[in-house]
Amino acid sequence: MKRAAVWVCLIVTGSCFAQEENHLSGSVLVKETNPIKELSQKREQMEVDVSVYPNPSEGRLFVEGKNGSVITITSVEGTYVGTWLIGLDEKTEVTDLPQGTFFCTIQDGETRISKKIVVL
Protein backbone atom coordinates (compact mmCIF):
# COMPACT_ATOMS: atom_id res chain seq x y z
CA MET A 1 0.00 0.00 0.00
CA LYS A 2 2.84 2.42 0.80
CA ARG A 3 4.43 1.89 -2.61
CA ALA A 4 1.26 2.97 -4.37
CA ALA A 5 1.24 6.18 -2.35
CA VAL A 6 4.86 6.85 -3.27
CA TRP A 7 4.25 6.38 -6.98
CA VAL A 8 1.17 8.59 -6.88
CA CYS A 9 3.23 11.29 -5.16
CA LEU A 10 5.91 11.05 -7.82
CA ILE A 11 3.43 11.14 -10.68
CA VAL A 12 1.48 14.09 -9.25
CA THR A 13 4.59 16.20 -8.56
CA GLY A 14 6.19 15.35 -11.90
CA SER A 15 9.44 14.30 -10.23
CA CYS A 16 11.69 12.01 -12.23
CA PHE A 17 13.91 10.58 -9.53
CA ALA A 18 13.84 7.51 -7.34
CA GLN A 19 14.35 7.64 -3.60
CA GLU A 20 13.53 5.46 -0.66
CA GLU A 21 10.03 5.79 0.73
CA ASN A 22 11.23 7.47 3.94
CA HIS A 23 13.27 10.18 2.18
CA LEU A 24 10.73 11.82 -0.12
CA SER A 25 10.07 14.97 1.85
CA GLY A 26 12.32 17.97 1.49
CA SER A 27 14.03 16.95 -1.75
CA VAL A 28 15.31 19.96 -3.65
CA LEU A 29 17.31 19.90 -6.84
CA VAL A 30 20.20 22.36 -6.65
CA LYS A 31 22.18 23.45 -9.69
CA GLU A 32 25.83 23.03 -8.81
CA THR A 33 28.36 25.55 -10.05
CA ASN A 34 31.93 24.73 -10.86
CA PRO A 35 34.20 27.66 -9.91
CA ILE A 36 37.12 26.24 -11.90
CA LYS A 37 35.01 26.05 -15.05
CA GLU A 38 33.68 29.59 -14.50
CA LEU A 39 37.23 30.94 -14.05
CA SER A 40 38.38 29.11 -17.17
CA GLN A 41 35.55 30.65 -19.19
CA LYS A 42 36.41 34.16 -17.87
CA ARG A 43 40.07 33.61 -18.75
CA GLU A 44 39.23 32.43 -22.28
CA GLN A 45 37.03 35.50 -22.77
CA MET A 46 39.77 37.85 -21.56
CA GLU A 47 42.40 36.18 -23.77
CA VAL A 48 40.21 37.01 -26.74
CA ASP A 49 39.87 40.61 -25.54
CA VAL A 50 43.64 41.15 -24.98
CA SER A 51 46.16 41.74 -27.74
CA VAL A 52 49.90 42.40 -27.35
CA TYR A 53 51.78 43.33 -30.53
CA PRO A 54 54.21 43.38 -32.27
CA ASN A 55 55.95 40.43 -30.72
CA PRO A 56 58.90 40.38 -31.06
CA SER A 57 59.26 44.14 -30.98
CA GLU A 58 62.07 46.66 -31.11
CA GLY A 59 61.19 48.43 -27.85
CA ARG A 60 57.75 49.77 -28.80
CA LEU A 61 54.79 47.60 -27.84
CA PHE A 62 51.01 48.04 -28.06
CA VAL A 63 48.58 46.42 -25.62
CA GLU A 64 44.87 46.39 -26.38
CA GLY A 65 42.35 45.35 -23.77
CA LYS A 66 39.50 46.39 -21.54
CA ASN A 67 39.41 49.98 -20.26
CA GLY A 68 40.85 50.13 -16.74
CA SER A 69 42.98 47.00 -17.01
CA VAL A 70 46.43 47.24 -15.45
CA ILE A 71 49.52 46.21 -17.41
CA THR A 72 52.63 45.16 -15.50
CA ILE A 73 55.85 44.21 -17.24
CA THR A 74 58.60 42.23 -15.54
CA SER A 75 61.74 40.59 -16.87
CA VAL A 76 62.05 36.81 -16.88
CA GLU A 77 64.39 37.22 -13.91
CA GLY A 78 61.58 38.95 -11.98
CA THR A 79 62.84 42.53 -12.26
CA TYR A 80 60.01 45.08 -12.31
CA VAL A 81 60.00 47.20 -15.48
CA GLY A 82 56.82 49.26 -15.16
CA THR A 83 53.05 49.54 -14.84
CA TRP A 84 50.62 51.07 -17.32
CA LEU A 85 46.86 51.54 -17.40
CA ILE A 86 44.67 50.84 -20.41
CA GLY A 87 42.65 54.00 -21.06
CA LEU A 88 39.37 54.88 -22.72
CA ASP A 89 40.64 54.08 -26.21
CA GLU A 90 41.33 50.51 -24.96
CA LYS A 91 44.92 50.69 -26.17
CA THR A 92 48.22 51.56 -24.50
CA GLU A 93 51.65 52.11 -26.01
CA VAL A 94 54.65 50.85 -24.06
CA THR A 95 57.92 52.40 -25.24
CA ASP A 96 61.62 52.35 -24.41
CA LEU A 97 61.76 48.72 -23.35
CA PRO A 98 65.32 47.38 -23.16
CA GLN A 99 66.40 44.29 -25.07
CA GLY A 100 65.36 41.03 -23.49
CA THR A 101 62.50 38.70 -22.70
CA PHE A 102 59.64 39.92 -20.51
CA PHE A 103 56.28 38.92 -19.10
CA CYS A 104 53.42 41.28 -19.81
CA THR A 105 50.63 40.73 -17.26
CA ILE A 106 47.23 42.27 -17.94
CA GLN A 107 44.87 42.30 -14.96
CA ASP A 108 41.18 43.16 -15.07
CA GLY A 109 39.61 42.70 -11.63
CA GLU A 110 40.37 39.16 -10.52
CA THR A 111 41.27 37.93 -14.01
CA ARG A 112 44.96 38.00 -14.91
CA ILE A 113 46.58 37.04 -18.24
CA SER A 114 50.34 36.81 -18.81
CA LYS A 115 52.00 36.95 -22.20
CA LYS A 116 55.67 36.46 -22.96
CA ILE A 117 57.19 39.22 -25.08
CA VAL A 118 60.60 39.59 -26.71
CA VAL A 119 62.34 42.89 -27.38
CA LEU A 120 65.12 42.75 -30.01
CATH of the domain at 79: 2.60.40.10
Task: Over range 65-86, report the average pLDDT.
Answer: 93
Asked if the structure places residue 55 within a domain, the reply is yes
Confidence bin at 25 (pLDDT 50/70/90): low
Domains: count for the chain:
1
More confident residue, 28 or 78: 78
pLDDT of 49:
78
Does residue 83 belong to any structural domain of this protein? yes
Of the chain, the percentage scoring pLDDT greater than 70 comes to 69
Instruction: With respect to residue 2, please indicate whether it lies within any of the assigned structural domains.
Output: no
Residue 113 pLDDT > 60? yes
Over residues 39-55, the pLDDT tens digits come to 777 767 666 678 899 99
Residue 106's closest CA among 59, 66, 58?
Answer: 66
pLDDT of residue 47: 61
Residue 44 falls within a domain, yes or no?
A: no
The range of the structural domain enclosing residue 62 comes to 50-119
Distance in angstroms (rounded) separating the CA atoms of residues 70 and 67: 9
Whether 57 is covered by a domain: the verdict is yes
Q: What is the mean pLDDT of the chain?
A: 78
Element holding 51 (H helix, E strand): strand 51-53
pLDDT at residue number 5: 46
Please choose, from the candidates 84, 77, 85, 83, the residue with its C-alpha nearest in 3D space to the C-alpha of residue 102: 77
In a domain, 113, yes or no: yes
CA 36 to the chain's CA centroid: 9
Is residue 29 a part of any domain in this protein? no
Give the number of residues written for the chain: 120
